[in-house]
Chains A and B, each alone.
Chain A
Amino acid sequence: MRAYLKCFSLLTCAVMLGLAQNARAGDRFLANTALPILSVPADNPQTDAKIRLGQQLYFDTRLSADNTISCATCHAPETGWANHGKTDTGIKGQVGGRNSGTIIDAGYMKFQFWDGRAGTLEEQALGPIHNPIEMGETLDNVVLKLNAIPGYKRQFNEVFGTDVNTDGIAKAIAAFERTIVSGPAPFDRYLQGDPSAMTPAAVRGMKIFNGKGHCTPCHSGPTFSDQGFHNLGVGYKDGKFADVGRYEVTKADKDMGAFKTPGLRNVDETNPYLHDGTEATLEDVINLYDRGGVPNPNLDRLMLPLHLTAAEKTDLVEFLKSLSGPVPAISAPSLPPSEEN
């Protein structure tokens, strides 16, 4: 009998040790997810005046060819700094091919745009202005228009020591966008030791997220993005992609149909989802993953059918909702008038 008791004492100790190890492994995954201090380019330090200027430019429709579209038109604060339309609608009602991604935490991303063609917010900021479908304005003309607005000319001289130029426009908008950072979410508070911060369903969903759901290989790190590009097969039909994605930038076969992994903070506010906005809800996105994506010759090898149950999908959605934290409450500022009295 003593031998049995010894055996089971050892067994119990081993099991408890295993459980303790469990907690440590989970902690390690979770410990990597807190948002760090945002790094800022050395040549574009954050200043209050620059951020105020950037905010005005961000909301100013005069940056577009027909004075109807601003950055905020497609990346509006009231819609999660994104747009609830499937894809962008630019000047003259032109419809673009991609969904407007949120700018929340965009400052943390190594690549901008769905295909990653811009490396920094500064590079990104000018893109939509001269995109013929979006704002449809030439950069030269924007500079001329803004220099004709005394309020902007004065602010540019105060901030950059020059009249309005494209470099300043880009830097000011980027500086403003870097302030759009998500605050502590229930998930973060849970990590900090508040077990009541997340619902039991969200806690279960977190486990699925890091296990059966196969989410973390791509959606990991502080922003829940690996900053990489993956092919889910979205938009693949009749043997070709409606949008070749990252391939357009690199011309590498491996990037055919691949798009940037978006961050997931505040994801429940940024519907619809995916680069073409084809999935209306988080449930729809999960169903896409559950099916293993859309079969195509370049489907990412991380994509596999998941066999999630309905309850597991519900839990996963609850977890995703727990990633939403407060973002700066910003509304459209008063803009410099075109002509001062």
Chain B
Amino acid sequence: MKTKHIRIAIALFCLLGLLLSLVMPASAVPVFARKYGFDCTMCHSNFPRLNDFGQRYRANGYQLPGREHEDKTILESPTPLALRTSAGYNYDVFTNSNDPDTREFQINGLDLLSAGLLYRDIGYLLVYPPHIEGSRGVIEQGGTIEMANLMFSHLFKSTWLNLRLGRFEPAYVPFSVKRSLTASPYEIYNYGPWQGWFKLSETQEGMELTGYSRCGLNYAVGAVNGAGTSYQGKTTADFYARLSKVIGAGEGQTAGQKLGIMAYSGRSYPTVLVAEGPFEPPLIWFGWESQTEVEAITEWKQYSFYRLGADASLNYKWLNLALQYIYGNDSPEIWGSGDADISFWGGFAELSVLPMTRCVGFARFDHVNAPGISDYNVDRITVGARCYPVDNLALHLEYSRRTMKMGDNLDDLIEDFATLRLDFAF
């Protein structure tokens, strides 16, 4: 089997070598590049990360700033469809854990994207990962609507009033998990109860009002249903606000120094009140047959939590340093333990180096200082690089080690993750 893997690895490298040797004067083409005929690097410093131009374009409701009057709608543009997927070798091995190891070539899902302008100042974005049955070499993917939102820009002709409705990536996550350079997740964003269903950085349904000024001040306030932070996606009414300021020219992506703060106040429907242990499938474990019976038993009470955060994106020449700090406070019921509020903090520091457009290197350290009830601190170190033979195709190499401290009497849980993959959109 190892011989087969080596052969496939050689084949992969040959393919990459071929791609790297190609001189491609043309541009990349996911939806917006196709619409304008622009090169990908117009909006992306390194796909999928946005550069300052791309950030302004996004904030402007998918219209070129200052050119809104002549931007074409989807009816006047090429079919607004694009695909993104990645495939390659994944090595994911756990130490002192029962989690299954992975050592194989895999296709890591598929996204269908559509975006554009419905009318002047009315943009939309749709991201649809279709259902894919898991099979050898293909990671199972549940079909869902990852994002589907409308953006109404410049309400009352003001840059201070832009409204996004639907399911979107909320602004309280300053470093997009959808456009991250790394395959390894940011630990702090989704840190929560141990069963792993708490996903604050997931896309949310609701509305978000954003605005920006010429002096670099940006704000966002939103009301969302908190589907990512309740077990089985039951909804609540959560609120958040974010304020950021860019010092100097730019948007803090590759130029300018961006400083931000955020607050999120949410409520969660935990199920840990009545359940302990594995949840899949949850109903069988309880011996009940229907969701109705479970709801009757658990009463689905809401419990509050909040997050406070500060972040910075600092740029110097071809270096970007992203810093994130978040303090979390949860009602004890969310964790199903104790009487006092559960508090923790954590964050990350990520340095990315863009010595040239064709290559980016990155290194990140994540840390979560766990609440006293668990004391399972989490550390993650991630290093890697992405090289771009063409703008919409990245050769992605990454290694990440996640360590969860289990206390004095237990060995640490360690996950070693490495991947060599092609990440591309077309």
Contact = CB atoms under 8 A, between A and B. Distances in A.
B123 to A, nearest CB: 16
Contacts of B137: 3-4, 7
Interface stretch (A91-99, A113-121, A170-178, A206-214): A206-214
Interface stretch (B32-40, B304-312, B327-335): B32-40
Interface residues of B, number: 61
B195 interface: no
A24 B390 CA distance: 14
Interface string A283-316: 0000000011101011111111101010010000
A25 B424 contact: no
Nearest to A29: B37
Contacts of B393: 15, 18
Interface residues of A, number: 54
A4 B392 CA distance: 23
A212 B358 CA distance: 11
Nearest to B39: A211
Contacts of B152: none
A25 B42 contact: no
B136 interface: yes
Contact of A292 (B36, B250, B356): B250
Contact of A22 (B29, B251, B318): B29
B317 interface: yes
Nearest to B52: A304
Given A212-B357, A307-B317, A4 B29 contact: no
B22 interface: yes
Contacts of A226: 67
A21 to B, nearest CB: 5
Interface stretch (B11-19, B92-100, B175-183): B11-19
Contacts of B392: 18, 22
A14 B25 contact: no
A280 B65 CA distance: 29
B39 A304 contact: no
9 contacts: A15-B422, A21-B426, A22-B390, A23-B26, A32-B37, A217-B42, A302-B66, A304-B249, A304-B255
A203 interface: yes
A212 B41 contact: yes
Most chain A Cβ neighbours within 10 Å, of B39, B250, B357, B391:
B39
Contact of B42 (A11, A204, A214): A214
B317 to A, nearest CB: 7
A210 B422 contact: no
Contacts of B318: 307
Nearest to B110: A14
B38 A27 contact: no
Interface of A: 1, 3-4, 7-8, 11-12, 14-15, 17-19, 21-30, 32, 200, 203-204, 206-208, 210-212, 214, 216-217, 226, 228, 230, 291-293, 295, 297-305, 307, 309, 312
B114 interface: no
Contacts of A14: 83, 85, 424, 426
A22 B19 contact: no
Nearest to B391: A211
A11 B85 CA distance: 9
A292 B38 contact: no
Given A4-B105, A22-B392, A15 B255 contact: no
Nearest to B8: A4
B313 to A, nearest CB: 14
Given A21-B426, A25-B37, A210-B42, A295 B249 contact: yes
Contacts of A4: 4, 8, 105, 136-137
Given A15-B19, A23-B24, A203-B25, 12 more contacts: A11-B107, A19-B24, A22-B392, A22-B426, A25-B29, A30-B37, A207-B39, A211-B42, A217-B64, A293-B249, A299-B249, A304-B255
Contacts of A309: 356
Given A1-B4, A292-B249, A302-B66, A24 B29 contact: yes
A218 B318 CA distance: 25
A26 B26 contact: yes
B138 interface: yes
Contacts of A19: 22, 24, 390
A12 to B, nearest CB: 6
Nearest to A202: B25
Contact of B27 (A211, A303, A312): A211
A307 B255 contact: yes
B2 interface: no
A7 B27 contact: no
B28 interface: yes
A26 B426 contact: no
Given A1-B4, A304-B249, A211 B26 contact: no
Nearest to B65: A301
Nearest to A215: B42
Nearest to A6: B137
A23 B34 CA distance: 11
A214 to B, nearest CB: 6
A302 B53 contact: yes
Contacts of B41: 207-208, 211-212
A308 to B, nearest CB: 9
Nearest to A1: B4
Given A3-B135, A27-B26, A301 B56 contact: yes
A26 B65 contact: no
A207 B391 CA distance: 11
A249 to B, nearest CB: 18
